[in-house]
Amino acid sequence: MEKDVSFFEKGYSYFYDLTKERKFLGLVDKMINNEIIKALLSYYGDVLNENEVNNYATCLLRRILCPVFKNSIARGIRGFFRKT
């Protein structure tokens, strides 16, 4: 994620808020594909099918963006900036 982008400065607290801006949705998609999917495949690659994991990413994105679950951005990106 770009460090000059602040979800919090725009008043966004939850991932479902990001549906208001296409740029932020792209960052969420990038997080899923570059962080979560890679981690799953590197850890469980011997038992997981890559195509199934990629299909799971679509379901995961829907779940993250669902307002019912109130997935907070702070929780979702914790530790990310330490890695970059």
pLDDT at 2 > cutoff 50: no
Tens-place pLDDT, residues 12-38: 889 888 888 888 778 778 878 888 888
Task: Give the global pTM.
Answer: 0.61
What integer pLDDT is reported at residue 64 of this predicted model?
85
What integer pLDDT is reported at residue 47 of this predicted model?
93
The tokens describing 25, both together, are: 């949705």
What integer pLDDT is reported at residue 5 of this predicted model?
54
User: 52 near 73, Cβ under 8 Å?
Assistant: no
Under DSSP, the state recorded for 22 is: H
